[in-house]
């Protein structure tokens, strides 16, 4: 899904990156990108001390130009002692770097906010895709996903292709609209 953006356009776009050192990567890349989004949560560790934990381990989202993203990825591979190595998620079919739509970033920001205790993010692909729906009202209005039973309850799952799946909290069926060829 490229939101009608050509990959050689020289304006900032969102990309998902995978890195073994996510917290360090955030610090190194913050001055090299227009924006960094690294969803974290505070958890209580041993000794009751709060600490930051990545919501999606080893994954960050960077907003930069296509060319800068590729240059930073290359720099990290050639000079890992000075830079943090990372890999940009690519489209499986043709290996172009994957553009993450702004709407997906907004959804992740909404779901990973401090008051989002009912939201869960899964990076596995263990869910079967079923009926495609659109949320018609509320704070998730406009988002599309698949209805899936998770722990005996039905939820809407929104995919960020190749990166993760987001399970929205329970949404009343009256606020869901089936998406067919006519409503798409």
**Cα separations in angstroms, 5 against 2, 40, 88, 163:** 6, 29, 17, 19
Residue 60 belongs to what domain range?
A: 13-100
- Given a contact cutoff of 8 angstroms between Cβ atoms, the answer to whether 110 and 18 are in contact is no
- Residue 128 pLDDT: 39
- Residue 176 pLDDT: 74
- Domain at 22, CATH number: 3.30.70.940
Per-10-residue mean pLDDT for the chain, 184 residues long? Answer: 50 94 92 94 80 88 96 87 85 89 89 64 48 78 79 73 77 72 58
| Total domains, the chain | 2
- Residue 13 pLDDT: 97
Backbone angles phi, psi at 107, to 5 degrees: -65, -45
Q: Among residues 48, 76, 100, which one ends one of the domains?
A: 100
Q: Answer yes or no: do 115 and 174 share one domain.
A: yes
């Amino acid at each position: 899904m490229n939101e009608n953006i050509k990959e050689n356009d020289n304006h900032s776009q969102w990309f998902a990156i995978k890195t073994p050192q996510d917290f360090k990567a955030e610090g190194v890349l913050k001055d090299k990108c227009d924006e960094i989004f690294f969803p974290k949560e505070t958890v209580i560790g041993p000794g009751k001390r709060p600490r930051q934990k990545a919501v999606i381990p080893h994954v960050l989202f960077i907003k930069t130009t296509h060319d800068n993203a590729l240059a930073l990825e290359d720099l990290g591979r050639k000079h890992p002692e000075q830079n943090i190595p990372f890999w940009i998620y690519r489209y499986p079919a043709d290996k172009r770097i994957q553009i993450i739509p702004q709407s997906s970033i907004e959804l992740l920001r909404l779901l990973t906010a401090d008051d989002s205790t009912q939201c869960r993010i899964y990076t596995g692909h263990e869910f079967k895709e079923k009926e495609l729906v659109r949320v018609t009202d509320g704070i998730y209005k406009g988002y599309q996903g698949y209805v899936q039973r998770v722990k005996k309850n039905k939820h809407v799952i929104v995919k960020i292709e190749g990166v993760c799946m987001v399970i929205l909290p329970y949404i009343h069926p009256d606020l869901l609209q089936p998406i067919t060829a006519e409503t798409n």
